């Protein structure tokens, strides 16, 4: 997706983001005024349009709430860890087994 900031059209359209997306969809959403204002600061800091910021936020939200994506992220995390049980667990299991055999 490609976004570009357009300042064409004089003061009325100054800073309006023009979404030039090959396969993008244009939509209108309503957000609380406080959230709208809060979104401006990070967008400016990252030199992104609000459209880019909202698109990134939706993409991240969907990824975080998609069970397959969550499973994939956890699989990657756990693949880096030693998954063998700790030695103390073996010792506790052995003691429990011995005590129940009596």
pTM of the model: 0.49
pLDDT band at 101 (very low <50, low <70, confident <90, very high): confident
List, for residues 68-88, the tens digit of each pLDDT value. 988 998 899 888 888 788 889
List, for residues 20-40, the tens digit of each pLDDT value. 445 678 888 899 999 999 999
User: For residues 5 and 51, is the Cβ–Cβ distance under 8 A?
Assistant: no
16 φ, ψ to 5°? Answer: -70, 130
- pLDDT at residue number 87: 87
Residue listed under structure tokens 């401006």 = 40
């Amino acid at each position: 997706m490609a976004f570009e900031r357009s300042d064409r059209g004089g003061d009325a359209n100054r800073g309006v983001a023009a979404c030039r997306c090959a396969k993008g969809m244009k939509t209108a959403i309503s957000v609380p005024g406080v959230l709208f204002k809060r979104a401006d600061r990070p967008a400016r800091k990252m030199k992104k349009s609000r459209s880019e910021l909202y698109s990134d936020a939706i993409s991240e939200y969907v990824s975080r709430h998609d069970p397959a994506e969550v499973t994939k992220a956890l699989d990657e995390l756990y693949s880096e860890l030693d998954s063998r049980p700790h030695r103390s667990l073996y010792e506790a299991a052995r003691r429990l087994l011995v005590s129940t055999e009596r």
